[in-house]
């Protein structure tokens, strides 16, 4: 069964770790097809993370970005960071430190036929 980015739903999992002493974070992204096969994976190191909350929001934005880069039209973004996921589902303007990431994610939504958090 060949991979068809225009019709297939791709599940993208993300996770973030945070080192508060060094103000650094690491994002892990894994994109899988409907059979669970890994289509892409990425590890991103950042030196500009003010908090774990911000690191998780950035990782969520990076997960959406990997979907765009792959040319996928339907994605499902997964993580256990419930607050981040709820804010991505909302259309409200977020004034927290993660607001810039949430706005970027919301702006990318129109680039997909379907995006689920």
Does 1 score more than 70 pLDDT?
A: no
Q: Residues 56-113: pLDDT tens digits?
A: 899 999 999 999 999 999 999 987 666 676 777 776 665 667 888 888 998 999 999 9
pTM of this structure: 0.83
Query: CA 92 to CA 106: how far, in whole Å?
Result: 10
Query: CA 30 to CA 39: how far, in whole Å?
Result: 8
Q: Which domains does the chain have, with CATH numbers?
A: 9-116 (3.30.420.10)
CA proximity to 56, closest of 31, 87, 75, 81? 81
Q: Is 68:77 a contact under the CB 8 Å cutoff?
A: no
Q: CB 111: neighbour CB atoms within 10 A?
A: 12
CA 21 to chain centre: 25
- Give the model's pLDDT for residue 8: 84
């Amino acid at each position: 069964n060949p991979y068809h980015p225009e019709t297939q739903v791709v599940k993208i999992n993300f996770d973030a770790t945070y080192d508060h002493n060094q103000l650094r974070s690491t994002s892990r992204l894994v994109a899988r097809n409907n059979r669970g096969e890994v289509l892409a994976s990425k590890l991103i190191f950042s030196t500009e993370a003010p908090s774990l909350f911000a690191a998780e929001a950035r990782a969520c934005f990076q997960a959406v970005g990997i979907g765009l880069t792959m040319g996928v039209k339907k994605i499902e973004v997964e993580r256990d960071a419930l607050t981040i996921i709820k804010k991505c589902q909302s259309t409200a303007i977020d004034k927290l430190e993660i607001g810039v990431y949430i706005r970027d994610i919301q702006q990318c939504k129109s680039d997909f036929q379907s995006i689920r958090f």
